[in-house]
């Protein structure tokens, strides 16, 4: 069944733009926090500090985690 947007029914699945971390969509926040194994607060702090590029966020979170050990 077509959804009128892209011609395909995704069965309720939402697409994730992996080029940037989007914190404005709940499903994307859940995806990124699971991928980076961090809390929502840690994800928000990382984005506020380094921006939305996934590689920047990942590096920041890795550095932040090491500073707690």
In the chain, where the domains are located? 26-67
Start-to-end CA span in the chain (Å): 51
Q: Is 51 helix (H, G, I), strand (E, B) or coil?
A: coil
pLDDT of residue 38: 96
Percent over 90 (pLDDT), the chain: 64
Report the chain's mean pLDDT, rounded to a whole number.
Answer: 82
Q: Round to whole Å and give the CA distance between 55 and 19.
A: 9
Which tens digits make up the pLDDT trace of 35-56?
Answer: 999 999 999 999 999 999 999 9
28-36 long-range contacts (CB < 8 A, ≥24 apart) are 32/57, 36/61
For 16, the token pair is: 């994730």
pLDDT of residue 55: 96
Whether 14 has a pLDDT exceeding 80, the answer reads no
Whether 10 has a pLDDT exceeding 50, the answer reads no
For 11, the token pair is: 């069965």
């Amino acid at each position: 069944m077509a959804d009128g947007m892209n011609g395909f029914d995704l069965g309720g699945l939402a697409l994730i733009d992996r080029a940037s971390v989007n914190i404005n969509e709940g499903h994307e926040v859940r995806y990124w926090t699971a991928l980076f194994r961090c809390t929502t607060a840690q994800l928000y702090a990382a984005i506020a500090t380094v921006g939305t590029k996934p590689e920047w966020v990942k590096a920041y979170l890795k550095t932040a985690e090491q500073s707690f050990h």
